[in-house]
Amino acid sequence: MEEYIAKVLISREELAKRVSELGAEITRDYAGKNLLVLGILKGAVPFMSDLIREIKLPLAYDFMALSSYGASTQSSGVVRILKDLERSVEDVHILITEDIVDTGLTLQYLKANLKARNPLSIKVVTLLDKAARRQAEVFPDYNGFSIPDEFVVGYGLDFNEEYRNLPYIGVLKPEAYKFI
């Protein structure tokens, strides 16, 4: 698997350090608040799993799975909900947990959808931010790392469902693409 990694962009140690810092910030900001950490499947799973253990507060977590309607409508930001929340959110502060914000279209749709359910607040924590590619006016409230416009894998991020279990964020060699 690792023979296709051109370079390590963010090491395992750097990830752990930054996730711990984000957890401390979130712990300060949400003290005394009813917090629901919302993970977006599948990419956010490793990040969220590490992050919640750095948030030293009572919290609940749940997941949503979203899928884009397909290449031709991708830029419209219309997404399909494949898995929804298990209960109403009117009494909670939602913290959306994302692996990466790229164009921002997925997040824009998700925030609007959740807003209509009247939660106490909605904020976003993302591990990675590719701000150069932003199309929608959405910005994460907490960001692990700002990264250049490169296709990255690892720590939850995939290429064709592979590489999610790498413990670091890496950039793929061009050879990795030629098999599809």
Site string for ligand 5GP, 10-49 (x = CB under 6 A): ---------------------------------x------
Parallel, antiparallel or unpaired: strands 152-153 and 169-172: antiparallel
CB–CB of 101/149 below 8 Å? no
Q: Please select the residue that binds ligand 5GP; options are 151, 160, 173, 175, rule is CB under 6 A.
A: 151
Q: Which amino acid is at 139?
A: F
Q: Where are the beta strands (DSSP E) in the chain?
A: 5-10, 35-41, 60-68, 79-83, 93-101, 121-129, 142-146, 152-153, 169-172
Q: Under the criterion CB under 6 A, does residue 129 sit at the interface with ligand 5GP?
A: no
CB–CB of 102/130 below 8 Å? yes
Q: Please select the residue that binds ligand 5GP; options are 14, 50, 141, 158, rule is CB under 6 A.
A: 158
Contact set for ligand 5GP, span 43-82 (CB under 6 A)? 43
Minimum distance from CB of 123 to ligand 5GP (Å)? 16
Active site residue 129: no
Active-site positions?
Answer: 102
Per CB under 6 A, residues contacting ligand 5GP are: 43, 99-107, 151-153, 157-159
